[in-house]
């Protein structure tokens, strides 16, 4: 294994998340991904399940973005049609 110094904070953050995810799996399943009790088709099924979950998360995020875009458009229209110079908008940011 080649040792390199990682300076990119984004890469470091992702590496930390991989480590945390690995530890979670080890604690939950009592094994690592180096396990040899699964067939290749089992691994493919696991990957497929994860990919399907990912597509659901992506769809949920897309819906949220569309909702935010509509809200922003409404706010812009309200500002444009406002006769006053100041408009106060309260956001519920999650």
Clarify whether residues 18 and 42 are in a common domain: no
Shared domain check, 71 and 48: yes
* Contact (CB, 8 A) for 72 and 79: no
Please give the tally of structural domains in the chain.
Answer: 2
Q: Is there a contact between 32 and 25 (Cβ–Cβ < 8 Å)?
A: yes
- Cα 13 to chain center, whole Å? 14
Contacts (Cβ under 8 Å, ≥6 apart) of 57? none
pLDDT at 32: 96
Are 44 and 69 part of one and the same domain?
yes
- pLDDT of 92 reads 66
Q: Same structural domain for residues 45 and 77?
A: yes
pTM > 0.85: no
Domain that holds residue 27: 7-34
Report which DSSP code applies to 33.
T
Residue 65 lies in a domain: yes
Q: Averaged in consecutive runs of 10 residues, what is the pLDDT profile of the chain (94 residues)?
A: 89 97 96 96 98 98 97 90 64 65
């Amino acid at each position: 294994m080649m040792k390199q110094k990682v300076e990119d904070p984004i890469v470091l953050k992702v590496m930390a998340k991989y480590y945390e995810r690995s530890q979670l799996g080890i604690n939950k399943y009592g094994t690592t991904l180096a396990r040899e009790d699964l067939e290749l088709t089992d691994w493919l099924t696991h990957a497929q399940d994860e990919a399907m979950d990912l597509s659901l998360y992506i769809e949920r995020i897309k819906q949220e973005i569309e909702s935010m875009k509509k809200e922003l458009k409404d706010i812009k229209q309200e500002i444009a049609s406002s006769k006053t110079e100041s408009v106060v908008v309260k956001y519920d940011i999650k």
